[in-house]
Amino acid sequence: MARTQAERRADTRDRLLQAAAARFAADGIDGASIDAIADDADRTSGSVYAHFGSKEGLLLALLDSWKNDVAVAATAEMATAPTMPGRLAALWRNFADPPNDGAHWVQLEHELWLYATRHADARDQLADRYRDIRRTVRDEMGQWRASGDITPPVADDVLGALLVALLIGLEMQHRLDPDAIDERVALAGLAALLGVTEPTEVMT
């Protein structure tokens, strides 16, 4: 694969970005060295500078390419569950205990957030992404409300922000103390914000 120069170049770029995502998540943005990232991508540090110019350039490119399929993947898996509590449980599990090797995307998200608080460029980009996520969630919940599955006690335009906030905050506490912040807590919170009236039986 990757016969032409352009293809090889694109392949190297992808490898570097993927390695950077994994390394940043594992060791932190500061803790991850250019050499380590390049090694993971089976390249050398020189290639990083040829493609991105600097470590910051690499990070901004990563932030740009970082398609957060969370909302998509989450809603996709949610659709498979028949009952509402089952759907909410699937949503929570995707956050708390990611199934695939996508286990590191949550960690990377926190790394990027902390970086963004100190760099205006990254902050603007990340702010855009979170706006998109909120909008996606809001639209989805609007449909649920319209179909009568839920009766949220708040307006649709704030529901996205509240759900995202609750999931992030619960996930952070869950990481510190998995037993204390379990599925039962998450389901209670989601049900309260969404106005799920039926008894919240857990579907396992």
Partner DNA sequence: GTCTATATACCGATAGAC
Partner DNA sequence: GTCTATCGGTATATAGAC
Q: Please report, as a single letter, which amino acid is at residue 176.
A: L
- Least Å distance, CB 14 to a second copy, is 27
> Beta-carbon neighbour count of residue 45 at 10 Å?
14
> Tokens 């991850």, residue?
32
Smallest Cα–Cα separation from 134: which of 111, 105, 156, 107?
156
- Site residues for DNA, window 98-137 (CB under 7 A)? none
Q: Is the backbone of residue 59 left (phi > 0), alpha (psi -120 to 50) or beta?
A: alpha
CA atoms of 137 and 118, how far apart (whole Å): 27
- In terms of CB distance, is 62 or 194 closer to a second copy? 194
Among 123, 145, 149, 183, indicate the residue that binds a second copy (CB under 8 A): 123
65: partner contacted, choices a second copy, DNA, none (Cβ within 5-8 A by kind): none
> Tokens 């110019």, residue?
53
Stretch that binds a second copy, among 14-22, 64-72, 74-82, 107-115 (CB under 8 A): 107-115
192: partner contacted, choices a second copy, DNA, none (Cβ within 5-8 A by kind): a second copy
Among 111, 138, 141, 144, indicate the residue that binds a second copy (CB under 8 A): 111
CB 12 within 8 A of CB 54: no
Map residues 38-57 to x or -, x wherever contact with DNA holds by CB under 7 A. Answer: x---xxxxxx-xxx-xxxx-
- Gap between the terminal Cα atoms of the chain: 43
**Count of residues that interact with a second copy, criterion CB under 8 A:** 45
CB 184 within 8 A of CB 192: no
Based on the shown chain and the rule CB under 7 A, indicate whether residue 36 belongs to the binding site for DNA. yes
Site for a second copy, rule CB under 8 A? 28, 30-31, 107, 110-111, 113-114, 116-118, 123, 126-127, 130-131, 134, 152-155, 158, 161-162, 164-170, 172-173, 175-177, 180-181, 184-185, 188-189, 191-193
